[in-house]
Amino acid sequence: MQKLIECVPNFSEGRDPNIIQQITVAIAAVDGVSLLDVDPGASTNRTVVTFVGSPEAAVEAAFRGIQKAAELIDMRKQKGAHPRMGATDVCPFIPVSDVSWEEAIECAKSLGKRVAEALRIPVYLYEKAATDPSRSNLSIIRAGEYEGFFEKIKQPAWKPDFGPAVLNERSGATVIGARDFLVAYNANLNTRSVRRANSVAFDVRENGRVKTEDGMPTGKKVLDASGEPVRIPGMLKHVKAIGWYVEEYGIAQVSMNLTNIAETPLHAAFDACSEAAAQRGLRVTGSEVVGMLPKKCLLEAGRYFLRKQQWSEGASEEELIDLAIRSMGLSELKPFEPKEKVIEYRIEAAAGKSLVKMNLRQFCNETLSDSPAPGGGSVAALMGALGASLGGMVANLSAGKRGWEEQLGYFSDWAVKGQQLKDELLFLVDEDTAAFNKVMAAFGLPKDSAEEKAARSKAIQKANQYAAEIPLKVMETASRTYELLAAMAERGNPASISDVGVGLLATRACIEGAAMNVRINLSGLKDEKVKASLQEKISRLSAESETRFKNARQTVEGKL
């Protein structure tokens, strides 16, 4: 896997497109970095930038962005609705693929040290990179904002992790860290009142509100034994929220940061705001995502709304995302484009051409052309995806069959598994071709010197092994489809039994075809131990396939 880390710096400028462009150009100029999103806000006077790259490239790009912001943004003149303490207010690193927390934390620390030394900007570390647990929370660090930090930074407890204990008048201070995905999410209200929006925010945020004797915001605070105000917790864990008025939209919003989307997902925040608003005679009219978000946020939301509708959750990725967008009104203020807002889609787009994005005719034309890829391995994986799709289709049809409502959960679970298998096999369609291309690239390496020959030979062996492992993965994945197809043969809608049969044939063909592709790549391997291990696996998987195919087909034939 390629090492990828996401970086999401927030710059305290959202109104001047020239400044924003200069900052983003500086970031995008770094080799190995993909600029995914630039999201400016005029009322907040803040721009959220999202990019990904290798850890080394991401640190370099972040530094260049911070450097350019320090040059162009004067905090002495900056005003906006969003809390802030510096020209680059916050700069978190988020692991995406094959990057450990230790590596992410090292990115934060190395960047913080460089920013402090080169730019004379005080730097605080937060979240997982924090050196002091009491300073891990961004809102605690930022309390007092730019204006209050001139005195705050002089306190021993607020000595920066890097840089001088004197605020940089022009650039302020910067918070750098390593964290989980944070989703910036705003719920739109049918009011212009910031006070009423704040009431909803206090209802939902984890920190809740201060308890008063008469229950009114202006009432006398209730204190605990230590003299601290007693707080009434909000509805949601891992949510920070405030209310504000957005002039360009003419509405008030509940502005939230969801800091743990595994425990408090997007749809939970939407429902909580809807419930709290309704109790106050308000209505959530829609919502918006600021910056980018992981695909799983929308997939989980789509499944959640299908469950509320008492319908099968075995919908495609595209259907789930569309349902999530519509259900939460993500396009109310401006069109929500998944290709632009979902981080995985932006990474895929940056990666270039994909076979599975072609239509059927294009795929067949590409296969039929004089290019050796895509070849049998990719076609085998596609047949496996079609077999899983047919099994999932029968599950969905059975889940929606009138009179079978009591079995909805059973068939919905199988339909979800069908979607997962289909997606895994479609990924392997592209990966098999990518593996072949790696073999060709290895053969194209120079071989003039002894060192070059040795490096080329090593690269060829590595590429050949990978080219054998991918079709083996196709076999293993497709084998799991037999369980789905067997269940549908036994209990699925009998009117679709022929679809189960075709799914079985496609799955068997996939496994046999993938086995051939493993074997042809074994011939190029010199490591006999690896060859023997792979050969044993394909023999076992092929034998298991024949047995499972025959058993399930017997059920199909009996019902036909």
Of 82, 89, 180, 267, the active-site residue reads 82
Q: Residue 171, Cβ neighbours under 10 Å: how many?
A: 25
The answer to whether residues 185 and 287 touch, using CB atoms and an 8 Å cutoff, is yes
d(CA 69, CA 49): 12
Angle, vertex CA 210, rays to CA 207 and CA 213, nearest 5: 150
Cα-flanking dihedrals φ and ψ of residue 256, to 5°? -125, 150
**Amino acid, res. 202:** F
Pairing of strands 10-11, 33-41: unpaired
Show the tokens assigned to 341.
């807002």
Q: Which one from 180, 271, 430, 432 is the annotated catalytic residue?
A: 432
- Other beta carbons within 10 Å of 157: 8
Question: Among 91, 70, 83, 100, which Cα is nearest to 44's?
Answer: 83
Half-sphere exposure of 314 (CA within 13 A, CB side): 29
Contact 244, 81 (CB under 8 A): yes
Q: How far apart are CA 369 and CA 400, in angstroms?
A: 42
Q: Is the CB of residue 394 less than 8 Å from the CB of residue 496?
A: yes
List the one residue out of 22, 11, 5 whose CA is nearest residue 88. Answer: 11
- In 3D space, the residue among 295, 317, 266, 240 whose CA is nearest the CA of residue 36 turns out to be 295
Among residues 418, 272, 440, which one has the least CA distance to residue 371?
440
Q: H or E stretch including 201?
A: helix 194-204
Q: How far apart, in whole angstroms, are the C-alpha atoms of residue 218 and residue 287? A: 30
Judge whether 432 counts as a catalytic residue: yes
User: Which residues form the catalytic set?
Assistant: 82, 432
